[in-house]
Amino acid sequence: MAGKFEIETSNSLLKFRKKKEKKFFINLIYSYFQSKNNFTILNSLANTSLQMMYFWCMELILKQPINKPACICILFDRVIDSEKLNSSWLKHKEYFFLLTFEIDNSNLDIILKQEELGLTHRYKNVSHFPDKLFRFLYNTKDSEVYNFCHITAYYDKHILAKASISRTNWVLKVERINVLKEK
């Protein structure tokens, strides 16, 4: 290739809040590679970019309400995603879940697991603030139970997601939290 073009694949560049931003990114890649007449790379990048449009933007929200268990929430950018993902698990509210934070540099994966029922889900590349996470874990280290929930944002308010069919609140009880830090 005549010019040098680097695409940084850090998670911060691949997360977009609006579809307009996603489309702009795809059009930018298209226009660059069309100008260089390299259609093989163009097609592979276009497929990857289209797949990215279906990934959810997720953010970790930590809350410590008074007289309630501490709450670990996943903020979704779309209501339908927050309602549908693992909504069948809500019928197992009487069971306690295990939550694992896997931290690798600035990436955070959250694994929600219920071993008795064989349920496991990995929330990949969740955006977060490491200092807030560690402060939250330190402040709540004596807690016996945590709430884990899906939420969405409506202007500047967080709204608890409801299961798409049963319309119950998307909240599960977490008994234990593990933190795995990669170096």
Q: Taking the chain (183 residues) in consecutive chunks of 10 residues, what is each chunk's mean pLDDT?
A: 39 47 62 58 48 63 92 90 83 92 88 92 90 92 93 88 84 92 71
Phi-psi region for residue 19, left (φ > 0), alpha (ψ -120 to 50) or beta? Answer: alpha
Element of type H or E holding 81: helix 79-84
- Distance from C-alpha of 14 to C-alpha of 31, rounded to nearest angstrom: 18
Predicted pLDDT at 47: 44
Predicted pLDDT at 93: 87
- Distance from C-alpha of 148 to C-alpha of 171, rounded to nearest angstrom: 6
Predicted pLDDT at 122: 92
- Distance from C-alpha of 6 to C-alpha of 70, rounded to nearest angstrom: 42
- Distance from C-alpha of 115 to C-alpha of 137, rounded to nearest angstrom: 23
Cα angle 130-144-103, degrees, rounded to a multiple of 5: 25
Predicted pLDDT at 2: 40
> Model-level pTM greater than 0.75?
no
